[in-house]
Amino acid sequence: MQDSGITVVLGASPKVERYSNRAMEMLWQHRIDFEGIGNRSFEFREKKIINNIAESEWKAKKIDTISLYLTAKNQEVWKEWIFLTKPRRVIFNPGTENEDFERALEARGILALRECTLVLLATNQY
């Protein structure tokens, strides 16, 4: 299980059929503290999902994990922010693989995992 800090779901969607939404639901069910950033703001289980990190009230919290639900192209604008937040790990969910970014994270001491957040949670390996 997660040892300390929050999880950020980057690419959060209000659509229940999206994997990012399912991940937030499973994080909530497992009582893992998380925040979401999507392309628009919305409410999820009384939690405000934001679309702009400047809106963040939790930016002072330590980020343990970033669970990516963005394609490699859409990750570009978030790279510097991710480097600055220094999470323990970044999970590249299926379809988000990005070798260059993964290497850059590893070079900074950040674990870059090609995993599925849903599977990790379902098998108690999160």
Each residue's pLDDT tens digit, 17-48: 999 999 999 999 999 999 999 988 889 998 88
CB 8 within 8 A of CB 62: no
Which domains are delineated in the chain?
6-122 (3.40.50.720)
CA distance linking residue 28 with residue 44, whole number of Å: 10
CA distance linking residue 80 with residue 126, whole number of Å: 25
Per-residue confidence band for 59, with pLDDT thresholds at 50, 70 and 90: low
pLDDT at 1 over 60: no
Per-residue confidence band for 3, with pLDDT thresholds at 50, 70 and 90: low
- What string of H, E and C letters represents the secondary structure of the chain? CCCCCEEEEEEECCCCCCHHHHHHHHHHHCCCCEEEEECCCEEECCEEEECCHHHCCCCCCCEEEEEECCCHHHHHHHHHHHHHHCCCEEEECCCCCCHHHHHHHHHCCCEEEECCHHHHHHCCCC
* Residue 114, both tokens: 């090609």
Give the pTM.
0.90
Work out the average pLDDT over 104-124.
98
